[in-house]
Structure 1
């Protein structure tokens, strides 16, 4: 009987140690959330600056600033319109952007809010950005309503960046800031 008790005790002890180690690892991975508020400047439809901090809106991809799109047989400056829309959204006095991670260009990956409104999602709902790992329902809504980019034809922003990189003969994406 003693052998069975030791086996149970050893199993419980091992499980307790594993749980303790998991808690330590989870705490070490906890990154402090960085919250920014103030007068944001939209660099394009999915990038912001505030002072010296560069930020990239998490989960979305907006047209490149120089990108054009087509709707109703007419070319329009969708990249410029996306930048204007983002600038209008972050102009709200109560806008805050927060994040814990940085991308490979050391931009803080953020979700921005004005009150209870998720501005990243708002850009996708307006059809001025596509979902990039998040905001799938907002993109589906914009597609169904045929608004913004979905009112005509456009090239995905990632493809525009890839073509620009190929045209320059560069394999280094850092030259383009992407």
Structure 2
């Protein structure tokens, strides 16, 4: 009986921690999606916040809005296919996603619309070298901008343990 109970718990942990998630999503910002009430955070990247402003060619521009718009263009009206890799401390699924075969996480960093945040270092090096997106001007790292202007205090995306993810889901947090 104990073995059967442990097997059930392990199965539930795997379901919540590494679930495949797919469907038509809404782009929330440059690194977040929504699938119905489920919130998805693109793992390993950090995009400017919607209200964040950056500077290029002597002018300020809405780099956060631009990042969200770029991600919206990548997704289009296609369904996305995501692989869950845990849940962050805010209850969002940490995911790596594709739309139409395009790796959204990597493409956001490679295009310069997001920075590497624990992953995608090579894509960031390439974007910097080409002065793509954010790298064409001046900007505060999104994490630094949030610290000054308010926003979620995010650490690198290690995700919660599977047990913590299940407990948060079951408690409705």
Normalised by the length of structure 2, the TM-score is 0.76
The unaligned stretches of length 5 or more in structure 1 are: 1-23, 166-172
Larger of the two Rg values belongs to structure = 1
Determine if the alignment matches structure 1 residue 133 to structure 2 residue 118: yes
Task: Tell me which of 64, 68, 90 is aligned to 1:83.
Answer: 68
Determine if the alignment matches structure 1 residue 40 to structure 2 residue 21: no
Q: Deviations over 1:147-176 (max 9, x none)?
A: 1000000000001110024xxxxxxx6xx5
Shift of 1:114: 2.3
Q: 1:61: which partner in 2?
A: 46
Q: Paired residues, what number?
A: 144
The structure in which a higher percent of residues are helix is 1
Q: 1:11: which partner in 2?
A: none
Shift of 1:118: 1.1
Q: State the superposition RMSD in angstroms.
A: 2.2
Task: Tell me which of 97, 100, 121 is aligned to 2:85.
Answer: 100
Q: Deviations over 1:90-144 (max 9, x none)?
A: 2252521220300000000000112442110000011000000000010001000
Q: 2:105: which partner in 1?
A: 120
Shift of 1:177: 8.0
Q: Deviations over 1:2-61 (max 9, x none)?
A: xxxxxxxxxxxxxxxxxxxxxx9xxx5972332222221111100110101001000000
Q: Which has the higher contact order (CA 8 A, sep 6+)?
A: 2
User: What is the rounded CA distance, in whole Å, between the counterparts of 1:51 and 1:123 in structure 2?
Assistant: 23
Q: Relative to 1, partners in 2 of residues 1:162 and 1:177: Cα closer, same or farther, differing over 3 Å?
A: closer
Structure 1 runs of 4+ off > 4 angstroms?
none
Find the residue that maps to 1:155 and give its secondary structure.
coil
The unaligned stretches of length 5 or more in structure 2 are: 1-5, 155-173
Q: 2:14: which partner in 1?
A: 31
Normalised by the length of structure 1, the TM-score is 0.74
